[in-house]
Amino acid sequence: MKYDVLIIGAGPGGIFSAYELVKKCPGLKIAVFDTGYALEQRHCPIDGKKIKSCINCRVCSIMSGFGGAGAYSDGKYNITNQFGGTLYEYIGKEQALDLMHYVDQINLSHGGEGTRLYSTANSEIKKLCLQHDLHLLDAQVRHLGTDINYVVLQNIFAELKDKVDFHFRSPVDHIEVLPDGYRLTVGDQTFDGTYCVVSAGRSGSKWMETVCRSLGIATKSNRVDIGVRVELPAEIFAHLTDQLYESKIVYRTEKYGDLVRTFCMNPRGAVVNENTNGIVTVNGHSYEDPAKQTQNTNFALLVAKHFSEPFKDSNGYGESIARLSNMLGGGVMVQRFGDLIRGRRSNVQRIAESFVTPTLAATPGDLSLVIPKRILDGIIEMIYKLDRIAPGTANEDTLLYGVEVKFYNMEVAINSDLETSYRNLFVIGDGSGITHSLSHASASGVYVARVIAGREEENGTNA
Ligand SMILES: Cc1cc2nc3c(=O)[nH]c(=O)nc-3n(C[C@H](O)[C@H](O)[C@H](O)COP(=O)(O)OP(=O)(O)OC[C@H]3O[C@@H](n4cnc5c(N)ncnc54)[C@H](O)[C@@H]3O)c2cc1C
């Protein structure tokens, strides 16, 4: 089958490439391939009753399918260059922000209207943080919520489905370079196209490595973030979350000089499992609908670990730690902060007697048997620091879930068009290693679509 543009991955990167191409070049024949299912068919079997934890489905509906890893996310759309990726290094800060705003407007016009845009600018909280050597990063945050995020995706799909060929349950095996384009192999079928946009996200990271190896595209990788997800009564962080929704706070530890940061804050949300390549880690989300909200707020505390030569497998390091928690806990482990400080494990009784009711059925255990001392020390130091700006954070019953690992895809060598050394072969989104968020991944999709539209214009082929 012959197309003009082949897009691999139906996450935010792939979706916004397709969306923008349809707008800018309505005459192009576009195909999108995804390992996972269409949005309505995406179902995680964990129901909290019969199936309580991850059963390692062959295709993970949390990570794959229309909407990608973002489909069941909290839909926190961060408009900033300070975190969420380094797209700005390739396309410039102003353009990166413009594209994030552009995608925000598309989200609003597809069901997101009425959602709130928070901002950290000039806030009193910033001053409070600084007084305690904590550093609040600048951002605007649109909170769509898991429910509205889903509606936005439904509406975008409805708009695209007659203009783009979506191939679900279609994992791309190989990308072959042809004299005038690319050939994708999906099982026993092949698809040819002039342009190829690869947006394979986190779940496609291993596959992406094989593609780069086989095509001789350079990559580099040296970072992984390891930590825990903290869960506490929503009141403790309400003065921050009511004003900012999400606060990204960074702290440099006294003991080791490591940077610890808050990540993915979910006011009145729920802690959830995440499955990456068969390894169960922890994550969180929350709903915009008050009826679905919980009594608790959760957020991650992560320590960035950078490795230098000769060690190259930073993700392997993170995976080994997560595997250890899976081995001891059968999945995610939970521990009361008070138990951790006393050097004892949490057990079912201690968790049951806790004043904080866990929102995830995790196995009570001892995180100090899993997380390296240096990282755990940093997390404990940060919890005591946060206790100064949000008293109660260091309470005995604060729950810590582990392990939260933020894997980074290796960085693929691309130029300022987000193009590899092969003409018209682009790598975008989290799969490129340069974005780590909904906003940056979506913006990279729009950007590359405009590059393609520009080339079509030059060729005089844009209908
Ligand atoms: C639980 C959870 C909550 C999150 N919450 C937030 C949040 O609130 N805010 C935020 O900014 N970010 C959040 N994130 C991160 C965000 O979802 C990602 O940064 C974003 O989805 C990246 O978009 P992407 O298009 O690059 O990749 P993805 O969304 O990962 O999509 C990649 C797609 O490619 C497909 N694919 C991979 N390999 C192949 C192949 N060989 N053939 C065909 N298809 C393939 C996959 O099935 C997948 O659907 C969250 C992530 C998770 C898991």
Query: Mean pLDDT, the chain, as a whole number?
Result: 94
pLDDT at 314: 86
- The number of beta carbons lying within 10 Å of the beta carbon of residue 416 is 11
pLDDT at 73: 81
Q: Which residues pair with 183 in a beta bridge?
A: 176, 192
Q: Is 35 in the pocket of ligand 1 (CB under 6 A)?
A: yes
Q: Are strands 2-8 and 189-198 parallel, antiparallel or unpaired?
A: parallel
pLDDT at 119 over 70: yes
Please write the tens of the pLDDT for every residue from 304-341. 988 887 787 888 899 999 999 999 988 899 999 999 99
Counting from 1 in the atom list of ligand 1, the atom nearest the Cα of 73 is 3
Distance CA 89, CA 68 (A): 24
Q: Is the peptide bond before 348 cis (omega within 30 degrees of 0)?
A: no
Please write the tens of the pLDDT for every residue from 251-286. 999 999 999 999 999 999 999 988 777 788 999 988
Q: Would you say 296 and 234 are in contact if contact means Cβ atoms under 8 Å apart?
A: yes
Q: Is 229 in the pocket of ligand 1 (CB under 6 A)?
A: no
pLDDT at 146 over 90: no
Q: Is 405 in the pocket of ligand 1 (CB under 6 A)?
A: no
Ligand 1 mean position to 11 CA, how many Å?
A: 5
Please write the tens of the pLDDT for every residue from 54-96. 788 889 988 999 999 989 887 889 999 999 999 999 999 999 9
Q: What CATH number does the domain located at 2-118+142-220+410-459 have?
A: 3.50.50.60
Q: Are strands 270-276 and 219-220 parallel, antiparallel or unpaired?
A: unpaired
Closest CA to 365 of 327, 321, 392, 396: 327
Mean pLDDT for 349-361 is 96
Q: Is 378 in the pocket of ligand 1 (CB under 6 A)?
A: no
Please write the tens of the pLDDT for every residue from 415-425. 999 999 999 99
Counting from 1 in the atom list of ligand 1, the atom nearest the Cα of 72 is 1
Closest CA to 93 of 138, 125, 143: 138
* Residue from 16, 35, 81, 262 to probe ligand 1 pocket by mutation (most atoms less than 8 Å from CB): 35
Q: Is the peptide bond before 310 cis (omega within 30 degrees of 0)?
A: yes
Tell me which of 388 and 206 has the higher pLDDT.
Answer: 388
Q: How far is CA 85 from the centre of its chain?
A: 10
Q: DSSP state, 101?
A: H
- The number of beta carbons lying within 10 Å of the beta carbon of residue 457 is 12
> Measuring from atom 7 of ligand 1, which residue has the nearest CA?
76
Q: Are strands 259-266 and 296-306 parallel, antiparallel or unpaired?
A: antiparallel
Mean pLDDT for 187-213 is 95
Tell me which of 116 and 277 has the higher pLDDT.
Answer: 116
- The number of beta carbons lying within 10 Å of the beta carbon of residue 179 is 4
Distance CA 439, CA 435 (A): 9
Q: Which residue has the tokens 């006294």?
A: 254
Helix/strand/coil for 312: coil
Which residues lie closer than 8 Å to 125 by C-beta, 6 or more apart?
136, 239, 240, 243, 244, 247, 389
* Residue from 6, 64, 182, 266 to probe ligand 1 pocket by mutation (most atoms less than 8 Å from CB): 64
Ligand 1 mean position to 436 CA, how many Å?
A: 9
Distance CA 368, CA 366 (A): 5
Counting from 1 in the atom list of ligand 1, the atom nearest the Cα of 13 is 25
Q: Would you say 56 and 278 are in contact if contact means Cβ atoms under 8 Å apart?
A: yes
Q: Would you say 462 and 25 are in contact if contact means Cβ atoms under 8 Å apart?
A: yes
Distance CA 394, CA 384 (A): 6
Distance CA 309, CA 390 (A): 39
Ligand 1 mean position to 416 CA, how many Å?
A: 22
pLDDT at 70: 81
Mean pLDDT for 153-161 is 98
Q: Would you say 195 and 452 are in contact if contact means Cβ atoms under 8 Å apart?
A: yes
Torsion angle defined by CA atoms of residues 228, 233, 239 and 244, in that order, rounded to the nearest 10 degrees: 50
Q: Is 205 in the pocket of ligand 1 (CB under 6 A)?
A: no
What band does 377 get if pLDDT is binned at 50, 70 and 90? very high
Distance CA 131, CA 108 (A): 37
Q: How far is CA 274 from the centre of its chain?
A: 11
Distance CA 184, CA 196 (A): 9
* Residue from 174, 202, 208 to probe ligand 1 pocket by mutation (most atoms less than 8 Å from CB): 202
How many percent of the chain have pLDDT more than 70?
99
Q: Are strands 296-306 and 363-364 parallel, antiparallel or unpaired?
A: unpaired
pLDDT at 123 over 80: no
> Measuring from atom 30 of ligand 1, which residue has the nearest CA?
201
Q: DSSP state, 111?
A: I
* Residue from 241, 437, 444, 446 to probe ligand 1 pocket by mutation (most atoms less than 8 Å from CB): 437
Counting from 1 in the atom list of ligand 1, the atom nearest the Cα of 428 is 26
pLDDT at 462: 61
- The number of beta carbons lying within 10 Å of the beta carbon of residue 63 is 24
Q: Would you say 105 and 117 are in contact if contact means Cβ atoms under 8 Å apart?
A: no
Please write the tens of the pLDDT for every residue from 426-441. 999 999 999 999 999 9
pLDDT at 285: 86
Q: Would you say 83 and 139 are in contact if contact means Cβ atoms under 8 Å apart?
A: yes
Q: Structural domain boundaries of the chain?
A: 2-118+142-220+410-459, 223-407
Q: Which residues pair with 55 in a beta bridge?
A: none
pLDDT at 202: 87
Q: What is the DSSP string of 149-194?
A: HHHHHHHHHHHHTTTSEEE-S----EEEEETTEEEEEETTEEEEEE
Distance CA 444, CA 431 (A): 11
pLDDT at 51: 84
Ligand 1 mean position to 12 CA, how many Å?
A: 7
